[in-house]
Structures are given as C-alpha cells and as structure tokens.
C-alpha cells in the first residue's frame, strides 16, 4: 500500500540515510580505507621499531656493498668482490634462463604428449595417460629432487666421464660440450643468416600472394630451408672457415674448458619442463576436443585431407581455447623456478636469500623479489594477451 501511495504522489521514495545503497557503499568504502590505513600504519610502526631494535638500517644502499660469496653458475662476470646488486642480477638472469628454456621445452613436450593422448593407438594413448597422471599429482619440489638425485646417482665422476659425440662429455659435474671460438669474418656469417631471414620473409609473402591469385603453390618450406642453410654456409666458405673449438679436457678435479651445463640447472630445467608438460598436455587435449566435430566434417566435405584439415581448420580454432590456460602454465613455470633454492641453483630467490642472510635486509630483498616476479608475470601475460588477440576470433 505504501508503494501505491508513493507512486500516486509521484515523488521519489524517501529512504532513511542508513538504508540508502549509495550512502552505504560510500560508508563501507571509507571503513575499508580507514581500516586498511590503520593496519598498514600499525605494521610500518612496528617494523621501524623492530628494525631500530635490531640495529638494521633500511634502504637499498646495501646493494653497493661487497658480496663476499661466490656464485657457481653465472651468465655474466661475477666474483666475490662484486656487489650484492650484481649478485642479485646474476640470480635474475639465471631465473630468466631456466624459465625461458623451460617454457620452450615444456610446450614442445606438452604438445607431443597432448596429441599422444588423442591418438587412436592404444599403447601410445596409455603411455601418455600414465605420464600425465603421474606428473600432475606429484609436488614439483619432489620432481626436482627426483631429477637431481636420480641424475646425480647415475652419472659417473669426471675421471670416468661418459664420452659423447662432438667432444662432449657427461659426468656428475654436468654436461660439457666444446666452445665455439669464432675467428675473423664471423660477422659475415651472422650477416648472411640475417639476410636469409629477410629473403624468407619476402618469399613467403610472394608465395602466399601468388597462391591467392593463381592457386599454384610454391614449395616455401624447401626454399626457406635452402636459404637458411645455404647463405650462411656460403659465407662460411668464403671467409675461410673462421671457426675453431675449445674442447673440454680433464684436469686434476674436473673437466676444464668448453662449456659446462651444471647438473643443478639441468635437473631444474628438466623437472620444470616435464612437470609443466603434463599440464600443457591436458590443455592441448581439451583444446583439440573443444573444436566441434562439425568443423572437421565440413572440412572433409570440402575435400580437404586429414593434414590440411588439422593444420587449417582444427589447430587454429583449438589454439583459441588453448592459449589462455597456457599462459597461466607459463606463469606457473616461471614461479616454480624459484624452487631452485632447494637444489642450489643460484636463481634470484637463492642469491637473494644469501644476501638477506648476510645483510639482514629482509624487507628490501623481499621487495625486490616481489617486483621482479610481478614484472615477469605481467610481461608474460602481456605477451600472451597480444598473441591471443592475434589468434582470437575476428568477429564481424
């Protein structure tokens, strides 16, 4: 009845202030804001008091200090005389290295296993299923330990290294292979490689245009391969083979010379790749199954064979389903690389942890961790979103 009256009067309903949703919303927000502010203020107050008590100066000045500890695995020059900042940088590069290589390998292995899960071949199907179910249900830390201790217990000492082709060796200190020493004129080879890539791009464009116009197809793949190998090879011959090798050789303790891939890196990289691959396999499988059956039937009806159907119809659509979850797997892999600390691979968390322990600058180190990992996550997400936008359905 009250409602009828208000409608009849034609005036806006008079709501008590307490029940006005807008006022309430603002009140809640002020409450949250004040609460949060008080909480943060309390924490900052406590922290400063604690830091004063423990005699720890805050600020990032400590990054300039001499680190004093050594790092085994470094992509850039580093010694115990370098600064803490440098040590963290070394750790950051190590994180990047294992994350990027891990993502590439996990993607390849994951796609292979995922397609294997769709295979009509019973045995292949089962093997892939077992793989996925085993790796998905074990903590990544354990997978890393398995690889590390499993690999270490199998490999021999440097004196009894396993010899591999091309002057490579495998032992409990890692995988050694010859170092390329480029002589004079090596720049020309790089130039030839770049030139080949440019040519390939033009050939592809031209071939696509020609196919669209005339329907004739051009063997793009073979031409590209020819260019890619032929041009640098030509440059190589012209400049008179400016390449020599530095082979690893046994010294008192270890193999010296060549390039060493340490077992810590190797096992972390393999563990992360194989662990993440199990998840990627399931994503790929779901993606391919997610493409409606009518699509491939229609493609067959148009006269496309199996392979073009897969390449031109099924995969492009499956990718749309695959990419978003794939992105989060890439992020997970990057974050899981921080488990390196358990097997002594000097990534950002490990070098940061040592720095934290030597300097006591807990807040600054954790802040650096947060910023770097958030940055990496945002960068990966941005790249994948861009790629996703390219592959997404263009709706007209």
Contact region with another protein (CB under 8 A), list: 207-215, 233-241, 286-294, 332-340: 332-340
- Neighbouring CB atoms inside 10 A of 233's CB total 12
CB 292 within 8 A of CB 150: no
Cβ closer to another protein: 84 or 227? 84
Residue 86 binds another protein, judged by CB under 8 A: no
The reply to whether 378 sits near another protein by the rule CB under 8 A is yes
Binding to another protein by CB under 8 A, coded x per residue (else -) over 270-309, reads ----------------------------------------
Token readout for 209 is 């245009």
Pick from 5, 17, 18, 55 the residue near another protein by CB under 8 A: 55
Q: How far apart are CA 141 and CA 26, in angstroms?
A: 46
To the nearest whole angstrom, how small is the minimum distance from the Cβ of residue 215 to another protein? 30
Contact region for another protein (CB under 8 A) — 101-109, 177-185, 229-237, 328-336?
Answer: 328-336
Decide: is 357 part of the binding site for another protein (CB under 8 A).
yes
User: Cβ closer to another protein: 189 or 365?
Assistant: 365
Q: Does 111 bind another protein (CB under 8 A)?
A: no
- Identify which range of 217-225, 292-300, 363-371, 385-393 contacts another protein by CB under 8 A: 363-371
Q: How far is the CB of 30 from another protein (least distance, A)?
A: 8
Q: What is the 3-state secondary structure (H, E, C) of 338-386?
A: HHHHHCCCCCHHHHHHHHHHHHCCHHHHHHHHHHHHHHHHHHHHHHHHH
Alpha carbons 40 and 31: distance in angstroms, whole number: 14
- Return all residues near 312 (Cβ < 8 A) that are at least 6 apart: 299, 304
Interaction of residue 384 with another protein, rule CB under 8 A: no
DSSP conformation class of 184: T
Residue 117: which of 105, 130, 107, 129 has the closest Cα? 129
The nearest distance, CB 85 to another protein, in angstroms, is 17
Classify residue 375 as exposed, middle or buried by CB count within 10 Å of its CB (0-12, 13-18, 19+). exposed
Choose the stretch contacting another protein; rule: CB under 8 A; options: 52-60, 177-185, 195-203, 231-239.
52-60
User: Binding of another protein at residue 228 (CB under 8 A)?
Assistant: no
* Residue 137 contacts another protein per CB under 8 A: yes
By beta-carbon proximity to another protein, the closer residue of 214 and 252 is 252
Instruction: Please give the residues from 157 up to 216 whose contact with another protein meets the rule CB under 8 A.
Output: 157, 159, 172-173
Q: Per the structure block, which two tokens stand in for 122?
A: 């019973």
The stretch among 146-154, 175-183, 233-241, 297-305 that binds another protein (CB under 8 A) is 146-154
DSSP 63: G
Among 6, 64, 121, 306, binds another protein (CB under 8 A): 121
Region binding another protein by CB under 8 A among candidate stretches 29-37, 187-195, 309-317, 382-390: 29-37
Closest CA to 170 of 258, 97, 244: 258
DSSP 3-state of 66: strand
- Best CA proximity match to 392, nearest among 308, 293, 311, 324: 324
Question: Does residue 383 interact with another protein by CB under 8 A?
Answer: no
Among 115, 141, 259, 310, binds another protein (CB under 8 A): 141
The CA-to-CA distance between both ends of the chain, in Å, stands at 51
Contact of 62 with 358, CB cutoff 8 Å = no
């Amino acid at each position: 009845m009250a409602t009828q009256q208000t409608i009849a009067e034609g005036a806006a309903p008079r709501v008590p202030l307490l029940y006005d949703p807008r006022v309430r919303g603002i009140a809640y927000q002020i409450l949250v804001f004040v609460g949060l502010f008080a909480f943060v203020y309390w924490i900052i107050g406590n922290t400063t008091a604690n830091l004063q008590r423990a005699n720890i100066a805050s600020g990032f000045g400590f990054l300039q200090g001499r680190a004093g500890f050594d790092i085994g695995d470094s992509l850039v020059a580093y010694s115990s005389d370098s600064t803490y900042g440098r040590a963290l940088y070394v750790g950051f590069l190590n994180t990047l290295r294992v994350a990027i290589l891990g993502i590439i390998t996990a993607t390849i292995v994951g796609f292979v296993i995922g397609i294997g899960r769709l295979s009509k071949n019973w045995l292949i199907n089962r093997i892939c299923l077992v793989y996925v179910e085993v790796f998905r249900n074990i903590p990544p830390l354990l997978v890393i330990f398995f690889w590390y201790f499993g690999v270490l217990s199998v490999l021999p000492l440097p004196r009894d290294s396993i010899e591999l082709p091309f002057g490579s060796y495998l032992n409990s200190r890692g995988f050694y292979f010859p170092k390329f020493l480029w002589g004079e004129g090596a720049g020309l080879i790089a130039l030839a490689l770049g030139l080949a890539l440019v040519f390939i791009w033009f050939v592809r464009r031209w071939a696509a245009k020609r196919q669209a116009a005339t329907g004739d197809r051009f063997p793009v793949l073979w031409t590209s391969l020819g260019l890619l190998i032929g041009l640098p090879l030509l440059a190589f011959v012209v400049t008179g083979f400016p390449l020599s090798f530095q082979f690893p050789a046994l010294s008192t303790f270890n193999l010296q010379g060549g390039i060493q891939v340490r077992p810590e890196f190797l096992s972390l990289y393999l563990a992360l790749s194989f662990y993440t691959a199990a998840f990627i396999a399931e994503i790929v499988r779901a993606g391919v199954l997610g493409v409606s059956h009518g699509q491939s039937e229609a493609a067959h009806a148009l006269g496309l064979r199996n392979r073009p159907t897969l390449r031109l119809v099924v995969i492009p659509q499956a990718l749309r389903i695959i990419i978003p979850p794939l992105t989060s797997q890439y992020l997970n892999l990057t974050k899981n690389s921080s488990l390196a600390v358990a097997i002594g691979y000097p990534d950002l968390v490990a070098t940061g942890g040592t720095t934290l322990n030597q300097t006591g600058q807990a807040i600054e180190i954790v802040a650096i961790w947060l910023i770097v990992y958030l940055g990496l996550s945002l960068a990966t997400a941005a790249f994948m979103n861009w790629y996703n936008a390219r592959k997404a359905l263009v709706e007209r």
